Amino acid sequence: MIVRNKRELERLIADDIARLVVALSGGADSVALLHWLVHSQVGVPVVAIHINHGLQKEASEWQKFCEDLCDLLGVEIRSVSVKVDTKGSIEENARLARYAAFEEFLRPRDLLLLAHHMDDQLETVLLNLFRGSEVFGVQGMPVKRAIAGVKLFRPLLETRRHEILSYCRKNKLSWVEDNTNMDLGMDRNFLRHELLPKIAARFPAAEQALINAHERDTQALQLIENIAESDLDSALSDDDGLSLRVIGELGELRVVNLLRELMRRKQVGFPSGKALRQCVHAMLNSPRDAAPLLAWGGYELRRHDDFIFLLNSMPQVDISSVFKIQGSEPFAVSGGLLSIERIKGQGVTVNNEMGLEGRFRQGGEKIRRKQLRTLKNIFQENQLPSWVRNRVPLIYEADQLIAVPGIPAWNMCPIEAQDRQAGSQELGWVFSFEIRDRV
């Protein structure tokens, strides 16, 4: 039996799975897996998806082989052609295109099955070791994980490549061979054909030792992630801020681990470990009026009012710019969306719609409430974060600041000049600014 963890597969199927989806490349591994599933009567329909990357001249032949095989086995198949970016790593770009096609094809209650085996796992472990990783321990491919709201499972990770080939020969199965698997210019192929055979010849127990180390570290990593999940749930506020009061009791290493868990949940790539550790130290130890910041890959970590926030990097704002406000349709400005409603008895009166314009804070702006108030004080009273203040569109008419939009994301209500507030029977203009800063 080539699927050694059949019990886990049965447990996954029993968890309301309606369809098994096999990623069928035409290679021996996926051919063997599909054949085994069809003849094992797993109790749910089995379908296949073939991704035609179009990178080799034989690609159309491989697609036809898979379609013919599925026809022979009585399995429904979907063949999908993808466009692979040839800039950078073709191997990585092909993987991204392949997974995008998987996600588009998958339905709720599907279980995606990939035919990676133990030899693939050994190569992945070594590649990760050589390339370096900030994640704890020896890293390989997970046996299962989430994808597109469903589960992905690798049922052959405990099976060696030679066992799969024996299964294919025993059952008189044909498969296709990808000649690029012999290209030693690719790191994985170099490991497979040059390095691993030499390691196995000199150190016969090395491959099993690597697999054991991966299994050990996977268990340890699960414990670490469980702690991180618990810490994160304790520290996370309703507005997605992390309480410094809570995390300050954890110690810096646990806070680093907690932040990685937050990024995993939000599907955000990690910054470098060194940068993250330095950021955590600054967040926990710098003076209250300091503004520690970590920016990477379109994201930021910032501190505000005893909380840490994971944010999207926002576009630069030209604070000297001025824009006309016409009509009532929402429009994008300074990384957010400015909305306008006409509501009786609320907002401000506008004497000349053609003279209505938006500006940005320069410093020193004042608006008349019961008395003349500075925007700086108003923003401070509303606990508006520093990174939001200079991108809030300010509403002017005839050079008078008449309104500051409400900012629902930060619980700030609209601010109107007292002498321009709409009366109970007047139709007023109510401005709202939806800021898209938090991930």
pLDDT in tens, 339-356: 999 999 999 999 888 889
> Is the predicted pLDDT of residue 137 greater than 80, yes or no?
no
Looking at the chain, the whole-number percentage of residues with pLDDT higher than 90 is: 75
Least confident of 69-78, 184-193, 379-388, 421-430: 184-193
239 Cβ contact partners less than 8 Å away, ≥ 6 residues apart: 411, 438
Amino acid letter, residue 102: F
The residue extents of the domains of the chain are: 6-202, 215-312, 322-435
Is 77 in contact with 67 (CB distance < 8 Å)?
Answer: yes
Per-residue pLDDT at 35: 97
Per-residue pLDDT at 178: 86
Per-residue pLDDT at 295: 96
Residues forming beta bridges with residue 151, ordered by sequence position: 111, 146
Q: Average the pLDDT over 97-126 and give the result.
A: 94
DSSP E strands: which ranges in 239-378? 242-243, 293-296, 299-304, 307-312, 323-324, 331-333, 336-344, 356-359, 366-368, 372-374
> Is the predicted pLDDT of residue 37 greater than 80, yes or no?
yes
Check if 6-202 and 215-312 are the same fold.
no
Comparison of pLDDT for 134 and 72, the residue scoring more: 72
Q: Average the pLDDT over 405-425 and give the result.
A: 94
Per-residue pLDDT at 258: 96
**CATH top class, domain 215-312:** mainly alpha
- Say whether pTM exceeds 0.75: no
Q: Are strands 19-23 and 46-52 parallel, antiparallel or unpaired?
A: parallel
> Is the predicted pLDDT of residue 249 greater than 80, yes or no?
yes
Task: Say if residue 296 is exposed, middle or buried (CB neighbours under 10 Å; 0-12, 13-18, 19+).
Answer: middle
Q: Average the pLDDT over 30-46 and give the result.
A: 95
- In the chain, the N- to C-terminal Cα span, in Å, equals 46
Per-residue pLDDT at 301: 97
pLDDT digits (tens, 9 = 90+) for 421-436: 999 999 999 999 999 8
Three-state DSSP class for residue 137: coil
pLDDT digits (tens, 9 = 90+) for 266-301: 989 899 889 999 999 999 999 988 999 999 999 999
Is 373 in contact with 366 (CB distance < 8 Å)?
Answer: yes
> Is the predicted pLDDT of residue 149 greater than 90, yes or no?
no
Mean pLDDT score of the chain: 92
Q: How confident is the model at residue 159 (pLDDT cuts 50, 70, 90)?
A: very high
Per-residue pLDDT at 345: 94
Per-residue pLDDT at 236: 94
Radius of gyration of the chain (CA): 29
Of 196, 108, 189, 204, whose CA–CA distance to 151 is shortest? 108
Least confident of 177-186, 272-281, 322-331: 177-186
pLDDT digits (tens, 9 = 90+) for 382-402: 999 999 999 999 999 999 999
- Which phi and psi (to 5°) does residue 315 adopt? -65, 150
Q: How confident is the model at residue 186 (pLDDT cuts 50, 70, 90)?
A: confident
Is 158 in contact with 36 (CB distance < 8 Å)?
Answer: no
> Is the predicted pLDDT of residue 133 greater than 90, yes or no?
no
> Is the predicted pLDDT of residue 234 greater than 90, yes or no?
yes
Per-residue pLDDT at 433: 97
Residues forming beta bridges with residue 401, ordered by sequence position: 396
The topology under which CATH files domain 6-202 is Rossmann fold (3.40.50)
> Is the predicted pLDDT of residue 131 greater than 90, yes or no?
no
